Amino acid sequence: MTTQIKTNDRVTHEIVGGVHRFTFPGVGVLEFDPQKASAANRLRAEVYGWKQRIADAAAIPFNKEAGRYATSEEKFKAMRALVEHYESGTEGWARGRVSGAEDKAKSETTLTLHALAEQQGLSPAEMRERVKGLAKKREMSVRAYLEAALEASRRANEDQPISTLAVIYERLKAAQTTAPVKLNADELANELARGVE
């Protein structure tokens, strides 16, 4: 896919075989292979990219109808929605518009993933990769796999009490309704880079 870059020139960008190709009409072509960069710089680029992408969700334009700018809470919710979108394991880059029911399902999927990660002592990213593999093996979507895991964990009878997963899920769900923690974009990026300690 070729994209236009926001500069004064008509520079285009495309990725060919993993190599970034910047074309300057009448000047030349510049290619960049990220695999040749050091692991440290690739990590910095990823941290910068995630920081920028998530922080950009808070760049909500002036609402002419309401006659005001977005509140901090609205910006926080926009950023949280994007984080949940990516942590759901989706392949889609853009969040897009979703219905209330679909938004709720995505939130439940993300909470289940985090509950499983906590239960297993893994980071959400590690758990997501594990779930992807297990879902693929069972020929299910990640969301369907997580929904089935949560449903199974909620079933309680004399032989099988409610599992730890359901208990952790309910605790995370309750915590989600509390007042949001205030973070700035740099703190969030640093936290994302460090992962779960």
Q: pLDDT 10s digit of each residue in the chain, 197 long?
A: 555 454 446 788 888 888 999 998 889 999 999 999 999 999 999 999 999 999 998 988 888 888 889 899 999 998 998 898 888 887 778 776 544 555 555 677 888 888 888 888 888 888 888 888 888 888 888 888 888 888 888 776 556 656 678 888 888 887 765 444 455 566 666 666 666 55
Q: Is the pTM of this model over 0.75?
A: no
For residues 127 and 120, is the Cβ–Cβ distance under 8 A?
A: yes
- 13 HSE (CA, 13 A, CB side): 9
Return d(Cα 163, Cα 160) in angstroms, integer. Answer: 8
User: What 8-state DSSP symbol labels residue 94?
Assistant: S
Question: Would you state the structure tokens that stand for residue 47, as one six-digit string?
Answer: 């941290």
At residue 34, the 3 state secondary structure works out as: helix
Return d(Cα 170, Cα 150) in angstroms, integer. Answer: 11
User: What 8-state DSSP symbol labels residue 138?
Assistant: T
Pairing between strand 12-16 and 28-32? Answer: unpaired
Return d(Cα 73, Cα 107) in angstroms, integer. Answer: 18
* Residue ranges per structural domain of the chain: 3-36, 72-182
